[in-house]
Structure 1
Amino acid sequence: MLSCVHTHLLQRLRSPLSPGSRAGLGAALVLLGFISALEMADGSGAHYLALMAAAPVLAAGFASWRVVLAVGAAATVLGTAFAFSEPRVSLGTAASVAAIVLVTALVSAVAGVRQRQAEQIVELSRLASVAQQAVLRPLGPQVGTLAVAARYISSTATAEIGGDLYEAIDTPYGVRMIIGDVRGKGLDAVRLASIVLGSYRHVAYERADLRAVVSDLDRAVARNVGDEDFVTAAVVEERGGTLTIVNCGHPPPLLLRRGCVIPLEPPAPAPPLGFMPSVQPRVERLEPGDRLLLFTDGLGEARRDGEFFPTADRAWRLLGHGTVADGLASLETALEEWVYGRLDDDIALVLMEYAGPSSGTTVAVPSWEVGTAES
C-alpha cells in the first residue's frame, strides 16, 4: 500500500523539488510508513489514524504547499484504506479521516502563504542586487598605474540594501577614487548613491582641484536630500606618486607600508556632503609597494560580544600579501568569522597598490596646487 502511495506522490510532483521540499517529503513519508506499520502490527482495528494528520504538518515546516497537499492526500488515502479494512467503520475512525483532511487543508494554506513570502523576498533581493550593481560597477584589476580591487559586503540576505558607494577612474589629474556612505538604507539610499557617483564621474574629469570636486558633490547632495540626510565621503587622488586625500566626515583610509598601518587622518575635521564641508587636503608621498585601504563605517562598527573588529591590528597581515583582490577576500573571511556571519551594516572596501613611478610620469604635483596654478 505504501509503495502505491509513494508512486502516486512521484506522479504528482513531476517538477524538481527544492532541498526543503525533499526534506519535508522524506520526513513525512517516514512518518506515514511508521504509522502504517503500527496499524498493520496492531491488527485489531484502526487505532492510530489520527496520527497521520501529523504528516502534512511535518511537511509544511519545510516543503512547498503542493508537496504538503500531496502528503495530505497520501495520508487521507492511507487513512481511508485502513478505515475500510475494519468490519465496520466506527464514528471515531471516520472522525480521524476527517481530521486528516481538515489539517491538510489548513497547513497547505499556511505553507502557501509562507512560500509566497519567501518568493517575494527572493525577488526583492534580486531586484535590489540588480539596482545596486547598476550603481556600483566592477573595479580593477588595474586603474591607471594602480592595482585596484573593490568589494561590497551586504549585511543581510533580504532586500534591505545600503547606500555605500565607491569608484576609481583614471583622469588627466591622476587616478581618482571615492568611497562614501549614504545615511539610511533601501532604494532611497541607492538613489542618492547613484546621484553622487554620477556627479563624481563627471566632475572628477573636469575639476583640477579636489576641493572643487567636493564642492560640486556637496551641491549635488544638497539638491536631492532632506535636512537630516547626508553622505560621508573620502576622495583620493594619486598623481605621480603623490597621494592627496580630502575627507568629508568619513573614516580615514589606512596606509599599509612595510608592515605598518597608518590611519590618514585629515588635517582638520569636515562635515559630510550636504553640510557644505570646507576640506583641507592631506598629502602623502607614496613608496613602491604601499597599499591604501578605503572602507565605510560598517567595518569599524563590526563587533561581537561588544568587541570591535581589530582592523588596524590585522590589516597588514590580511591585506599586505598576494594581490589586492586576495587581500580583500582575506579581510572579508576574517570579518565574517569575527561577527559569526552577522553584520549590522553593509561594508564597501577598496584596496589599491602603488607599484612605483611609470615611464613618462610627470612631476608630482598635488591636484589642489594644479588648481591654484590654473586659476
Structure 2
Amino acid sequence: MLFGVPMRLLPPGRRPLSPGSRAGLGAALVLLALVSAIELADGSEARYIGLIVAAPFLAAAFASWRVVLGVGVLATAVGGVFALAGRENRLANLTIVVGIGLATGIAAAVAFIRERQAERIAELSRLASVAQQAVLRPLGPQVGTLAVAGRYISATAAADIGGDLYEALDTPYGVRMIIGDVRGKGLDAVRLASIVLGSYRHVAYERADLRAIVADLDRAVARSVGDEDFVTAALVEERGGTLTIVNCGHPAPLLLRRGEVIPLEPPAPAPPLGFMPVVRPRVERLEPGDRLLLFTDGLGEARRDGEFFPTADRAWRLLGHGTVGDGLASLETALVEWVHGRLDDDIALVLMEYAGARPVTAAAVPSWEVGAPES
C-alpha cells in the first residue's frame, strides 16, 4: 500500500519510480508512520517529532531529489500537526518543524548531487561499452576455410569494462587470429586495445612472419603506455593445414581433437607486448575436425568457493559438438552457472574449426615466397 499511493499520484506521462526511489520512499513512509504511532500512543504532547528529521535523509540515500522533497514536505506537515496539537513547548516544537524543513532542503541537495554523479558514471560506462563494441568487430561465421566464432562475456563484479581483444583475418599468408588482454580496465584499456587491433589489422597483411608482427605490435604498445602497462597476446596462423602459434605471456590455446584437449604451450615463455618479447613459434599439423579455443585469463580465473572452472576437463563436452557458435554459447552457460552469475573479470573467447585444407592456387601464395613466375 505504501508504494501504491505514490505510483497512482504520478501525472500522466511521468515515468514510474525507480526501484531505488521506491525503496527510499517506502523507508521514509515507514519511519513517519512509526513516529506518528508513537506520538499518538504517548498522548497529546509532542515529544518525538525530532525523529522525523531523519525521514528526508533516509529517502536521500536511495531516492531522487524530487521524491526527497515530497517526503520532506510530508514530514514537515506531520511535524507541524503534532507541534500545533500540543499545549506545552509549542514554540520549541515549531522550531523543530522549521529544522525539518531545512533538513529537507539539505537532503534534496545531497540527492541531486548523488543523482548527477550516478548519471555521469552511467554515461561514461555506456560510452566505454559503445567504444568497446566498435573496437571488437563480429567474427565469422567463416574466415577463409575456417569456421570461426567470437564471444565477449562482460564481468558482473565491477562496472569497469575490460581491455580484452580478438580478431580473425583472411590474409595472403592464411587465416591469422589474435587474442589479447590489456592490463587494467576502463577507457584506457579500451584505447590500448584499439591501438593493438588497429596495428594488427594492418601488419597482418604485410608481414610474412608472425615474429615480425609481434615486433610491430610491441613497438605500438611501447609507444602508447607507461612502464608498467602491457598486453598479453597469442597470435595464430593457419595455412594449408599447418597451425603456427606465438605466445606473449598469454594463456595457451586449447586444441580439441578426437575427444582430447591438448594445451598448446609455447616452446619457451615470452613476456607480454610492451616488454620486447622474443617468441619461439609452436607448429602443429591440423586434422579435419580439429577445433582450437583461444581465451583470455578471465576464463582461467573464474572460480566458485575457491575452486577454478575446470576448463580443460569440460572443453570437449562443451565445445566439441554443434557449430562453433553453439560451442561458445554452451561454454558461457556452463561458466556463468559455475560462478553463480558473478564474474570477476571480462572474458574473450574465440573458437575455430578446421575442415580441411583448401587447394593452393598461384594467387594464394605470394610470389616473393616462391620466386617470380617465369616469363
User: Which letter does structure 2 place at the counterpart of 1:63?
Assistant: A
Q: Contact 2:45 / 2:86 at 8 angstroms: preserved in 1?
A: yes
User: Which letter does structure 2 place at the counterpart of 1:217?
Assistant: L
Q: CA deviation at 1:261?
A: 0.9
| CA distance 1:223–1:38, change in 2 (3 Å) | closer
User: What is the aligned partner in structure 2 of residue 282 from structure 1?
Assistant: 282
Q: How many angstroms apart in 1 are the aligned matches of 2:266 and 2:73?
A: 70
User: What is the aligned partner in structure 2 of residue 113 from structure 1?
Assistant: 113
User: What is the aligned partner in structure 2 of residue 251 from structure 1?
Assistant: 251
Q: How many angstroms apart in 1 are the aligned matches of 2:66 and 2:278?
A: 62
User: Which letter does structure 1 place at the counterpart of 2:179?
Assistant: I
Q: Contact 1:219 / 1:274 at 8 angstroms: preserved in 2?
A: yes
Q: Partner of 1:62: helix, strand, or coil?
A: coil
Q: Partner of 1:165: helix, strand, or coil?
A: strand
The question of 1:362 aligning with 2:360 is answered: yes
Q: Partner of 2:125: helix, strand, or coil?
A: helix
Unaligned runs of 5+ in 1: none
The one-character-per-residue Cα deviations of 1:124-175 (angstroms, maximum 9, x if unpaired) are: 2112112222221222233223222222233356553332211011222222
User: What is the aligned partner in structure 2 of residue 83 from structure 1?
Assistant: 83
Q: Contact 1:9 / 1:74 at 8 angstroms: preserved in 2?
A: no
Count of residue pairs brought into register by the alignment? 367
Q: How many angstroms apart in 2 are the aligned matches of 1:146 and 1:87?
A: 88
Q: How many angstroms apart in 1 are the aligned matches of 2:11 and 2:99?
A: 25
Q: Partner of 2:175: helix, strand, or coil?
A: strand
TM-score, length of structure 1 as denominator length: 0.83
Q: Contact 1:121 / 1:159 at 8 angstroms: preserved in 2?
A: no
| CA distance 1:12–1:38, change in 2 (3 Å) | farther
Q: How many angstroms apart in 1 are the aligned matches of 2:293 and 2:371?
A: 31
Q: How many angstroms apart in 2 are the aligned matches of 1:263 and 1:183?
A: 23
Q: Partner of 1:206: helix, strand, or coil?
A: coil
User: What is the aligned partner in structure 2 of residue 68 from structure 1?
Assistant: 68
TM-score, length of structure 2 as denominator length: 0.83
| CA distance 1:12–1:29, change in 2 (3 Å) | farther
Q: How many angstroms apart in 1 are the aligned matches of 2:290 and 2:6?
A: 65
Q: Any residues of structure 2 matched to 1:1-375 within 5 Å, and which?
A: 10=10, 14-36=14-36, 39=39, 44-86=44-86, 90-155=90-155, 160-357=160-357, 361-362=359-360, 373=370
Q: CA deviation at 1:99?
A: 3.8
Q: Partner of 2:165: helix, strand, or coil?
A: strand
Q: CA deviation at 1:83?
A: 3.1
Q: Partner of 2:177: helix, strand, or coil?
A: strand
Q: Contact 2:147 / 2:353 at 8 angstroms: preserved in 1?
A: yes
Q: CA deviation at 1:234?
A: 1.1
Q: CA deviation at 1:38?
A: 5.4
Q: Contact 2:166 / 2:350 at 8 angstroms: preserved in 1?
A: yes
Unaligned runs of 5+ in 2: none
| CA distance 1:370–1:279, change in 2 (3 Å) | farther
